[in-house]
Amino acid sequence: MAERVYLDWNATAPLRAEARAAMLAALDVVGNPSSVHAEGRTARRLVEHAREQVAALVGAAPGNVTFTSGGTEANVSALSPRSVGDQLLVSAIEHPSVRAGGRFPATEEVPVTAQGQVDVAALERRLSQRGGRPLVSIMLANNETGVVQPVAAAAKAVHAAGGLLHTDAVQAAGKIPCDIGALGADLVSVSAHKLGGPQGIGALIRRDDAIPLEPLVKGGGQERGVRAGTENVAAIAGFGAAAAAATVALESDGRRMAALRARLEVGLKVISPEVIIFGADVARLPNTSLFAAPGMKAETAVIAFDLEGVAVSSGAACSSGKVAPSHVLAAMGAGAALARGAVRVSLGWSTQQADIDRFLDAWRKVAGALLKETGIAA
């Protein structure tokens, strides 16, 4: 039997060898990072080294990195600053953890274009109509389409209105530059397992530690009083190692994945000219392609791919099992029928040309069977 092909890296990336080695070493460390004895100080050094590595991923000061249980907690924590009022604006394509609103009683959505980019002019109009100090949350790159958002332009508008900008960089970190200064963001969320670290660990990073946050988890004084609970030393060490490895290979991996994605999308169009690739005309993550064919049902296609030994997704993994079409594609104006057929393919650092060719071979079979049922020639 042929080896399976994994093309669902946006859901979770395989554990990097560097992260695995760091975690195994950390598991042999006995001390609690909060203890003052030698064992505790050894554990503390591991945590602080990883903090430096994660900070370097986004060009931040290590002291402004707060470790969390993952991207969701980081996002919810970001929506808790005590220095803003009750105005929260989010883009229409945000992750559910941002759309839920955190401590805010209500959220207001900022629209996106048909290509899936935030409408900065609309954001500026919304900001001009409001007083007080708003908080705005705009992801750096969408997890479904891969479309990169105009965060720097949005940050200028938000700061001109006296507000704060949070960006969910969970899907972008390790794939494209995420420098917090260049983006102009005040708060950035990242997650380890999207870039080759372990699941269950993430971070919220502040541009300035003067930005006050209300702790979601209260108790001891860990993480400088922002997030209580004994630190998960092994996971943090793995996160740091993965962040360092991703930083080093950022440009080379990006170029290679972009070339592989181009091969995939050209092949899709050759086999099925009717295929629609979402966000194809704007900047996207180099590893992500979201496509649909009229009349195709994504769930059926994903199962068919799986039977052919290829792992892909019908959209965001956190939304699997839901009947409703993607809110991201709805915001882009895609029809419900087309949105229900969207399949996401996402690549990673170990993806090879042979994997793309296996996917295309599988698509010939999948399209031949599924699109024939709809009367569309494959």
**DSSP bridge pairs for 67:** 203
Q: What gap in Å lies between CA 335 and CA 92, rounded to an integer?
A: 16
Range of the domain at 279: 5-13+251-374
Chosen domain end from 229, 248, 267: 248
Q: Which of 318, 338, 360, 376 is catalytic?
A: 318
Following DSSP, what letter does each residue of 23-91 receive, concatenated?
Answer: HHHHHT----TT--SHHHHHHHHHHHHHHHHHHHHHT--GGGEEEESSHHHHHHHHT-BTTS-S-EEEE
- 178 among known catalytic residues: no
Taking the C-alpha atoms of residue 57 and residue 183, their distance in angstroms, rounded to an integer, is 13
| Residues 102 and 141 grouped into a single domain | yes
Domain boundary among 248, 264, 291: 248
Handedness of CA 26, 29, 32, 33 (dihedral sign): negative
Q: What is the pLDDT of residue 81?
A: 72
- Average pLDDT on 64-88 reads 90
Clarify whether residues 243 and 268 are in a common domain. no
Q: Tell me, what CATH number does 292's domain have?
A: 3.90.1150.10
Q: How confident is the model at residue 244 (pLDDT cuts 50, 70, 90)?
A: very high
Q: Which of 44-48, 218-222, 373-377 tops mean pLDDT?
A: 44-48
Residues 274 and 349 in one domain: yes
Give the span between the Cα atoms of 97 and 115, in whole angstroms: 23
State whether 176 and 265 are in the same domain. no
Least confidently predicted of 136-145, 311-320, 355-364: 311-320
Q: Does residue 46 surpass a pLDDT of 90?
A: yes
Residue 378 has pLDDT above 50, yes or no: no
- Give 3's DSSP letter: P
Q: Total structural domains in the chain?
A: 2
Comparison of pLDDT for 334 and 374, the residue scoring more: 334
Kindly report the pTM of this predicted structure.
0.94
Residue 113 has pLDDT above 90, yes or no: yes
For the stretch 148-166, pLDDT in tens is 999 999 999 999 999 999 9
Pick the last residue of a domain from 197, 216, 248: 248
Give 317's pLDDT tier (boundaries 50, 70, 90): low
Looking at the fold, whether 273 and 209 belong to one and the same domain comes out as no
Query: If pLDDT is split at 50, 70 and 90, which confidence band does 291 have?
Result: very high
